[in-house]
Amino acid sequence: MKKTHLPLLAAALLTACAPTAKVPATTAAAAPTEAPATPPAPVDWGRQADEFLTSYSAEYQRLYTQSSEAEWRSNTRIVAGDSTNAVATARANEAMAAFTGSADNINNLRQLLEHKDQLQEFQIRQLQTALYNAANSPQTIADVVKRRIKAETQQTEKLYGFDYKYQGKSVTTNDLDELLRKENDPKKRQAVWEASKAIGPTLKDGLLNLRGLRNQTVQALGYPDYFTYQASDYGLSREEMMTLVRQINDELRPLYRELHTYARYELAKKYKVKQVPDYLPASWLPNRWGQDWSAMVDVKGVNLDATLAKKGAEWQVQQAERFYKSLGFPALPPVFWQKSSLYPLPKNAGYKKNNHASAWHMDLNQEVRSLMSVEPNTEWYETTHHELGHIYYYLSYANPEVPVLLRAGANRAYHEAMGSLMGLAATQKPFLVGLGLQDAKAKTDQTQTLLKEALNYVTFIPFSSGVMSEWENSFYADKLPADQLNARWWELVKKYQGIVPPTARGEQYLDPATKTHINDDPAQYYDYALSYVILFQLHDHIAKKILKQDPHATNYYGSKEVGTFLAEIMRPGASKDWRQVLKEKTGEDLSARAMVEYFQPLMVYLKAQNKGRKYTM
């Protein structure tokens, strides 16, 4: 998946001279002894909050921009043995953290929040956000936080500077992904899969070190662990978050069980294996983590890869922009095209870059960029629409009505939901026909189309809400022992996904760390599971209430009404409660209902295909 980028809000500087925002003094000077004492004037806490937030926000935005620029350089130019960017990034993040986590700012924030009854909701939200940020970099443990910044920078360099090898040659993750989608020889598939996991041991010591540092930083402000800290951003306790993601997984379990059974038998047939395994070998699936199986199905009448290959990589990004413009959104600012890194590096570049697609809000205003490696194929076609969803979300809430501290999604999942929603919309047949990417007369099997979608969206839920969320919960909150990291991972993979490794994977490996988010976007992968639920709720509403179309066959293109609906969700940023936003716009609370309903027609087909087959989940 593609996670929106936010710069590190990590450590505090060791120096005590870092700038802080001040709550203005409120106590009058002592009166002369000969004059009768006068009671101090009542404090105007609303005015105090405004003055503090004005000062704080200006400095926050300045340091955030510096941090973003440094992070961008570290992610787009990785040179083996050259620590220049790493040192600069650590310095910028330390400066940012010294401000957000300063003892003075924490004390001022707490003092103002003690007088909530005299503040406006808008002010309270900003103050709470600033205090939440402070917990990620409290100056009271400056040495710990400084070490964390250095460790995170080093981990990023190891993660994206790794030299993957297959058959003795250096390969990219794009190369490995392509092989897993297309290779039919089980032995070669296993070799590809194992090559994709080779990075794990390199990251183990760094990840264990980061666990301790991340937990210690947030514990300084009263959070028991880093997972709890991240869940609190939703207004939920750790237990409430785990209950929510388990509920989502349970709601989709019956459909996943059918897909799992179907996949075991179909892949055994494809790979000419007579004995159908009870659990899916990980190397059989067309994705390194078994989170997306959609490449198993080629829908007849649709050869989008061939069509896109003729269009070229640049066309895909430009077309994604045209889609948003058709809904009424503005053209992307020139700086997006000038400073983004959108395409794979030349073979002779002499350096590497982060290979994970991401969207960047550089200054919390109008400077936006994207980091991708776009190639002309279906996966990147969807990804370009997804990433531009993040970009337009940034641009929408970067408006004068939304203060700097609230320029974020209604919650973290909303950002992913917007991106994924547009990715789904851009792949439905009426949309593709309208763009000339698919022949209107071509007969397409609607059941196979729905199956392909389910092998993308539904198979992702057990991975995101199950494996990833449960493993990181164990890792951070339950203090998972260092000699059980890989065992716990594969225990969860088998339980939730029904997948097993092709060979024994002992503790000399660290397969969870091969997922980038475990390293550089930790303890919040449930964002993606929640985003899919929100995505289908929004899509259900758009299809039925706005477009009056079948949710399985929509065309958003050119609908200003759809654009207005989306803009009204995007524009307030985090200034409104995410539950309130969802209820107001869709009429219902967070629920997997729409997602389950969308795929219900597929259940009849799958049960017919699986008749007489052995279920193992």
Alpha-carbon span 227 to 19, nearest angstrom: 29
Count of C-beta atoms within a 10 Å radius of residue 68: 22
Choose among 177, 209, 174: nearest CA to 192.
177
pTM, to two decimals: 0.86
Whether the pLDDT of residue 474 is over 90: the answer is: yes
387 counts as catalytic: yes
Q: How confident is the model at residue 511, as a pLDDT? A: 98
Q: Which segments of 39-112 are extended strands (E)?
A: none
Q: 302 or 151, which is more confident? A: 151
Choose among 17, 12, 159, 183: nearest CA to 74.
159
Whether the pLDDT of residue 4 is over 80: the answer is: no
Each residue of 406-421: pLDDT tens digit? 999 999 999 999 999 9
Helices H, strands E: what count in the chain? 24, 6
Query: What CATH code is carried by the domain that includes residue 591?
Result: 1.10.1370.30
Q: What is the mean pLDDT of residues 324-353?
A: 96
Reported as a pLDDT band with limits 50, 70 and 90, residue 597 is very high
Whether the pLDDT of residue 1 is over 80: the answer is: no
Query: How distant, in Å, are the alpha carbons of 5, 72, 415, 489 from that of 340?
Result: 13, 10, 19, 35
Each residue of 164-196: pLDDT tens digit? 999 999 999 989 999 999 999 999 999 999 999
Which tokens is 193 given? Answer: 């899969």
Q: 458 or 304, which is more confident? A: 458
Are 217 and 10 in contact by the 8 Å Cβ rule? The answer is yes
Which residues fall within 8 angstroms of residue 554, CB to CB, at 6 or more apart?
425, 428, 430, 431, 539, 542, 543, 547
Q: Which of 77-91, 367-381, 600-614 has the lowest mean pLDDT?
A: 77-91
Are 410 and 574 in contact by the 8 Å Cβ rule? The answer is yes
Q: State the pairing for strand pair 164-166/169-171.
A: antiparallel
> CA gyration radius for the chain?
25
Whether the pLDDT of residue 13 is over 60: the answer is: no
Q: What is the mean pLDDT of residues 437-449?
A: 88
The answer to whether position 477 is within a domain reads yes
Reported as a pLDDT band with limits 50, 70 and 90, residue 212 is very high
Reported as a pLDDT band with limits 50, 70 and 90, residue 23 is low
What's the chain's average pLDDT?
92
Reported as a pLDDT band with limits 50, 70 and 90, residue 20 is low
Q: How confident is the model at residue 21, as a pLDDT? A: 62
386 annotated as belonging to a binding site for a ligand: yes
The answer to whether position 590 is within a domain reads yes
Alpha-carbon span 346 to 343, nearest angstrom: 9
Q: How confident is the model at residue 36, as a pLDDT? A: 65
High-pLDDT (> 90) share of the chain, %: 85
Whether the pLDDT of residue 384 is over 70: the answer is: yes
- Highest mean pLDDT, choosing among 13-27, 89-103, 278-292: 278-292
Q: Which of 29-38, 296-305, 485-494 has the lowest mean pLDDT?
A: 29-38
Q: How confident is the model at residue 443, as a pLDDT? A: 83
The answer to whether position 9 is within a domain reads no
The answer to whether position 228 is within a domain reads no
Count of domains in the chain?
Answer: 1
The answer to whether position 288 is within a domain reads yes
Alpha-carbon span 394 to 383, nearest angstrom: 17
416 annotated as belonging to a binding site for a ligand: yes
CA 90 to the chain's CA centroid: 23
Choosing from 260, 361, 415, 517, the catalytic residue is 517
Which tokens is 424 given? Answer: 């789904």
Each residue of 578-593: pLDDT tens digit? 999 999 999 999 989 9
Each residue of 530-559: pLDDT tens digit? 999 999 999 999 999 999 999 999 999 999
Which residues fall within 8 angstroms of residue 117, CB to CB, at 6 or more apart?
none
Q: What is the mean pLDDT of residues 552-581?
A: 97
Q: Which of 1-15, 368-382, 478-492, 577-591 has the lowest mean pLDDT?
A: 1-15
Please give the residue range of the domain that contains residue 440. Answer: 240-609
Choose among 386, 397, 415: nearest CA to 317.
386
> H or E segment at 262?
helix 238-270
Whether the pLDDT of residue 124 is over 50: the answer is: yes
Q: How confident is the model at residue 19, as a pLDDT? A: 47
The answer to whether position 534 is within a domain reads yes
Whether the pLDDT of residue 200 is over 90: the answer is: yes
234 annotated as belonging to a binding site for a ligand: yes
Choosing from 387, 453, 470, 472, the catalytic residue is 387
Q: How confident is the model at residue 347, as a pLDDT? A: 87
Which residues fall within 8 angstroms of residue 582, CB to CB, at 6 or more apart?
410, 534, 537, 588, 589, 590
Q: Which of 283-287, 323-327, 344-348, 496-500 has the lowest mean pLDDT?
A: 344-348
The answer to whether position 155 is within a domain reads no
The answer to whether position 268 is within a domain reads yes
Each residue of 349-362: pLDDT tens digit? 999 998 889 999 99
390 annotated as belonging to a binding site for a ligand: yes
Whether the pLDDT of residue 81 is over 50: the answer is: yes
